[in-house]
Amino acid sequence: MDNDIPMLHILLAEDNPADVLLVREALNEAHIACNLHVMKDGEQVIQFIESLDADPAAPPLDMLLLDMHLPKRDGEEILNRLRSTEHYSQTPVIVMTASEAPRDYDDKKHITHYFRKPSSLSDYMQLGAIVREIAGNNCASSSRMGSAA
């Protein structure tokens, strides 16, 4: 199953160092090979997305793991900017939230999954399985589109 998913480029927008470590561990536990780009405030995230979008030779952005409550720019602004880009408007987004009941975000934002940040390590490891499933679905969709052309 490891060979089914190519090396991923994942942007992690998270300001809590403990959560960053837990995300890294969850991806490692799920045997997900990835370049994890970690940004700790919304301004960094938007600059990163804009620089990728402006560079035709930039690597793909396969997924965004997004904490909605970041300093400087919030998750709503980040989603708006991502969805307005030429190259990354369809990038899967997993919103990571500590909230018991995540706000109802506008459907136009195309949020792929909500992940409630759990209090236990074992529950946090579920994030790796979620990333694997979404990445696998995207790879299958891409290969179907490629073979149809």
Q: How many CB atoms lie within 10 A of CB 51?
A: 10
Q: How many CB atoms lie within 10 A of CB 70?
A: 22
Q: Residue 59 carries which DSSP code?
A: P
One CATH from 3.40.50.920, 3.40.50.2300, 3.30.420.40, 3.40.50.620 for 2-148: 3.40.50.2300
Stated pTM of the model:
0.85
| pLDDT one-digit tens code per residue, 64-109 | 999 999 999 999 899 999 999 988 999 999 999 877 655 555 555 6
How open is the CA angle 71-74-79, to the nearest 5 degrees? 140
Q: Which amino acid is at 73?
A: R
Which of 135, 52, 112, 111 has the alpha carbon at shortest distance from 87?
A: 52
| pLDDT one-digit tens code per residue, 7-24 | 999 999 999 999 999 999
Q: Which two tokens stand for residue 25?
A: 């561990």
Q: Distances in Å between the alpha carbon of 75 and those of 43, 103, 139?
A: 10, 12, 26
For the chain, domain boundaries: 2-148
